[in-house]
Chains A and B, each alone.
Chain A
Amino acid sequence: MQHVRRRLIVTTAGFGGLLLAALVGAPLLGSTSISLSRVFERSIPFADNSDAQIFFVARLPRVLAAALVGGSLAMAGTVFQALLRNPLATPDTLGVSSGAALGAMLAIAFHFDFAIAGFSSVSLSSLLGSLGALAIVYMLSTARRRGLSTTVLLLAGVTMTAFFSALILFVQYLTNFADTFRTVRWLMGMLDVGSYTPLIGALPLIAIAFGLVATLPRPLDLISLGADAAAARGVDVQRAERLALVSASLATGAAVSISGPIAFVGLVVPHIVRLIVGSDHRLVLPASALLGASFLIGCDLIARTMFAPIELPVGIVTAIIGGPFFLWLLVRRT
């Protein structure tokens, strides 16, 4: 076996390079083709450089949004799969995105109008919704003194998702036609953020989440083999489980507040990564975050160019790619 340190460097460099290429390449493509050399041409003032304006103002915020959302969801999916010892877990499994969706629905339906520092009421409400769902999950997990029961958590997540979905339908039923259209569009998942502001709002939360997760790869390896085995190897299981739960949910909530729910990234990406780098979470976690970012940038590129000038919601593209992959995965595992 190659040394872990070397594998880590190779993995990070490889997936990091892929992300860098996506970050630079994706904004060049679109309805108007622009050239990279003109974008960074110093002799033309920014106000006259239409290529640079398209790159930095029109397209880069959206590409960065895809990177942040994709990276967060893939990281959260990896963490939940290890925490719940279930390769089919996703960032949605515990109901966090449903909570976020409910928040956004309420903001749209009741025309909340409290944009703070440039953040729309919809993304603020969805963030509050996901934090509310996280609070419920956290209380459920601490109600039992001797650590989390994965079965209880999974069932609680399914129940919360169903419960929030019913409330979402209820809110939709009450709204008028135009608002219903907006809510449906939000639920499809869109990355047209319009400016850097929503990203700057979500960034601190995502940074905190990644900072917490950085302490967890080895404990997650051990927890995936069972709580008792992990405790016997020196893991403070209860603390690690709570940290994992909070950080993955926080990243999910922040991501959903940017884009709305986007399916399958958090499920599919960790599995692709495990096929390439193995199961050691010290490799899987960074690789998932990097590949998740690149994957969503790619999906969004398809979403905005395939049927141009029509832009598809990116959630539809990830589901169309992710659905068949998921089925293949199910067949392969059994």
Chain B
Amino acid sequence: MLRATDVSFAYRDGSPRVIDGVSIAIERGDLVGLLGPNGSGKTTMLKLIGGMLRPNQGSVEFEGRQLANWPRRDVARRIAYVPQETRAPFDFSVLEIVLMGRFPHLGPFALEGPEDLAVAKRALEATATSAFTSRLFHTLSGGEKQRVVIASALAQNPELLLLDEPTASLDVGHQLEVQQLLTRLNRDANVAMVLSTHDLNFAASLCRRLVLIRDGRVLASGPTEQVLTPAAVRALYDVNADVHMHAGAGHLTVTPISRA
């Protein structure tokens, strides 16, 4: 579905490359985690995949066409993005925020019709946020906001959903909720997902494939069970860790032991 080939990117001419020759392929219905230390280029890579940034070198192709040549509106009908944190400086209601996801489907002067409202309602139900519909967005907790923004992204009807640190500011309970929500959306709505995260256990519980990024380069990539090893954790974070299959959770768990 999406193929990034040998992508390099620097924020300014002459400044060091944040992304340096990365290739990633994402298939329909995929669930891919980008792992890497702070400043490794995960967020930048997500924005390159979403066409919000254009690579200096290499190419990002979506369905065989160069993403850089697509109008933004066309991209937004297929790829949605959930930033790490969303703040609303004005008093938007939850429904208003979710309806904004319909923007790429509407003409320049068109107003949302009943169909758009129906899509928004479905997105609210899918993220279990229907109860907040008429609440003001800025009065919600961090976890609730995150789910509402995911609902807004779903209202775009995307084939690919990009999430930047979806659990960064959430407590364990809300992390689990987001994990289950994303698993369900991926399975039932067949939305492919790429997410960046610091949380190795979250990634292990959710992602079928992992891409390990350090200093803008790919260290390893492949199925979660094969990629997530003590050696990989050491190479990525300079940390000695214990990695084993947790029988109760049914996925790999990582316990950091010491600085390598």
Contacts and interface: CB of A to CB of B under 8 A. Distances in A.
A155 interface: no
B55 interface: no
B91 to A, nearest CB: 5
Nearest to B134: A1
For chain A, give the interface size range. 20 to 34
Interface string B22-57: 000000000000000000000000010010110000
B216 to A, nearest CB: 18
A4 B87 CA distance: 23
A279 B111 contact: no
B61 to A, nearest CB: 19
Given A4-B111, A232-B50, A232-B52, A280 B87 contact: no
Interface string A67-87: 000000000000001100111
B72 interface: yes
A146 B50 CA distance: 15
Given A226-B83, A228-B81, A228-B83, A234 B93 contact: no
B77 interface: yes
Interface stretch (A95-103, A131-139, A214-222, A249-257): A214-222
Contacts of B112: 4
A228 B80 CA distance: 11
Contacts of B90: 82, 87, 224, 274, 279
How many B residues are at the interface, by size bracket?
Answer: 35 or more
B108 A1 contact: no
A233 interface: yes
B89 A85 contact: yes
Nearest to B103: A233
Contacts of A225: 86-88, 92, 97, 100
Contacts of A243: none
Nearest to B156: A233
A12 B7 CA distance: 49
A5 interface: yes
A275 to B, nearest CB: 9
Contacts of B153: 232
Contacts of B133: 1
Contacts of A87: 89-90
A235 B72 contact: yes
A211 interface: no
Contacts of B184: none
Interface in A222-242: 222, 224-226, 228-229, 231-236
A221 B95 contact: no
Contacts of A218: 100, 103, 106
For A222, A226, A231, A274, the residue with the greatest tally of chain B CB atoms inside 10 Å of its CB is A231
Interface string B142-174: 000000010011001000001000000000000
B111 A234 contact: no
B73 A234 contact: yes
Nearest to B95: A1
A215 B86 contact: no
Interface in B187-219: none
Contacts of B156: 233-234
B88 A233 contact: no
A87 B73 CA distance: 28
B47 A228 contact: yes
B76 A234 contact: yes
A274 B86 contact: no
B21 interface: no
B96 interface: yes
B220 interface: no
Interface in B61-87: 71-77, 79-81, 83, 86-87
A8 interface: yes
Contacts of B152: 233
A229 B111 contact: no
A278 interface: yes
Contact of B96 (A81, A274, A280): A280
Contacts of B106: 218
Contact of B87 (A81, A226, A231, A233): A226
Given A225-B88, A228-B81, 8 more contacts: A8-B111, A222-B100, A226-B83, A229-B83, A234-B75, A234-B156, A278-B91, A279-B92
Interface of A: 1, 4-5, 8, 81-82, 85-87, 146, 215, 218, 221-222, 224-226, 228-229, 231-236, 274, 278-280, 282
10 contacts: A82-B90, A86-B89, A87-B89, A228-B81, A229-B83, A233-B80, A233-B100, A233-B101, A233-B103, A234-B103
Task: List the 10 closest pairs (A to B, CB-CB), nearest first.
Answer: A234-B76, A234-B104, A232-B81, A279-B90, A234-B73, A231-B52, A4-B111, A233-B103, A85-B89, A234-B72
